Structure 1
């Protein structure tokens, strides 16, 4: 994101905060349930493994920050989230961990359905920081997406300065096969040699606890208009 785009985003947030009935910002974090991944072995010899292995889901974590503006029952909520994600492939000789670290920038649009309960959805830009598969040669790095876009949908409930948030994060990239060369034999082998990473996309369910560092609804006397940035 270049300097001009950053200034445009900050300007939009200032405009939203000036015209919103309420606004807040804070931090969030919690566990993630990570799903996805499929690898199929290539048969090049009599002992090569040619089966398909679906990855087992695992729990990891995420954390970040949010800014939210409200207009009556509607809300606009940009966020910045770091996610550590893992799934596990149960190969013939030993399991292999597929790990991804990424930064997500969702822009969420929501509606207050009742009391403290909001529902929301929106697009997210995702930047992969690192992606590795144990046993992949000559180095463990792998390609994991052909599009940086994802979609998120969820529900959250507010309790004073705290919120409980449950959402589904799904990659909008398409499945694209990627050639792997995995260490096959002992010592340290996985029992699979050349293979196709049929689908390297990972999706996740995120459970977050958020804390509002500032909330204009709790400090109505401080907000007189203008931009806080």
Structure 2
């Protein structure tokens, strides 16, 4: 009986939550301005290492879908997003680093006033590919990593605009060697540090 009441209460709570006009699902897309971590250069026969601190940010993009479950002022918003980022290192005349991955942010948000809301939550990331220009690069140590999203947005009817900051929390590096210069090798930190601008449309 107790279990039946718990199930019924959960069902009623779910129905009430979905009945909120702000709940639903939709599509989203936007631009990413990404910087990766340090690039470490090693030379054969030389124990010394040269470290390039961080990368120069470049513009990437993302596209995906989202769901939203509203509870009065609070909401839960999971997203599934394909992300393509690019950054560059001041090495060998400028070396671009491209990453493609699937992101699953799970955001908890709260409405502040009117259409304004703020949110934060973990982002689970699965790396699909990485490419360091002019070098042969191995897969990153970890395909699956975790980051953090924090941001703010406004809702204008079915249209939503938000800006957020993402920081990768899991250490993750990829090894590389030179394509033409065999005495150069190193590793690059693939953790993202990016500002994300997004437009969403509730369907």
Q: TM tier, shorter chain?
A: 0.7 to 0.9
What is the rounded CA distance, in whole Å, between the counterparts of 2:109 and 2:134 in structure 1? 43
Number of the residue aligned with 1:210 = 200
What is the deviation of 1:17?
Answer: 5.3
Structure number with the bigger relative contact order (C-alpha 8 A, sep ≥ 6) is 1
Unpaired stretches in structure 1, ≥5 consecutive residues: 1-13, 214-229
Query: Displacement of 1:175 after TM fit?
Result: 5.4
TM-score by length of 2: 0.82
- Is it true that 1:120 corresponds to 2:110 in the alignment? no
Q: Which residue of 2 aligns with 1:195?
A: 186
Does 2:73 match 1:65?
A: no
Indicate conservation of the 8 Å contact 1:144/1:201, yes or no: no
CA distance in 2, matches of 1:181, 1:135: 9
What displacement does 1:132 show? 1.5
- How many residue pairs align between the two structures? 189
Contact 1:162 1:210 in 2 (8 A): yes
| Whole-angstrom CA distance in 2 between matches of 1:210 and 1:143 | 31
Greater displacement, 52-61 / 100-109: 52-61
- Indicate the residue corresponding to 2:96 in structure 1: 97
> How many angstroms apart in 1 are the aligned matches of 2:202 and 2:117?
16
Q: How does 1:1-229 map to 2 (within 5 A)?
A: 18-20=15-17, 21-22=20-21, 23-44=23-44, 50-53=49-52, 54-92=54-92, 94-137=93-136, 140-143=137-140, 145=142, 148-174=145-171, 176=173, 178-185=174-181, 193-197=184-188, 199-213=189-203
> So what's the TM-score if we normalise by structure 1?
0.73
Deviates more, 1:123-132 or 1:17-26: 17-26
Higher strand share goes to which structure?
Answer: 2
CA RMSD of superposed structures (Å): 2.6
TM superposition shift of 1:107? 1.1
What secondary structure is seen at the aligned counterpart in 2 of 1:60? strand
Q: Closer, same or farther in 2 for the Cα pair 1:121/1:134, shift >3 Å? A: same
C-alpha contact 2:138 2:176 (8 A) present in aligned 1: no
Please tell me whether the aligned partners of residues 166 and 192 of structure 2 are also in contact (alpha carbons under 8 angstroms). no
Distance 1:59 1:51 in 2: 26
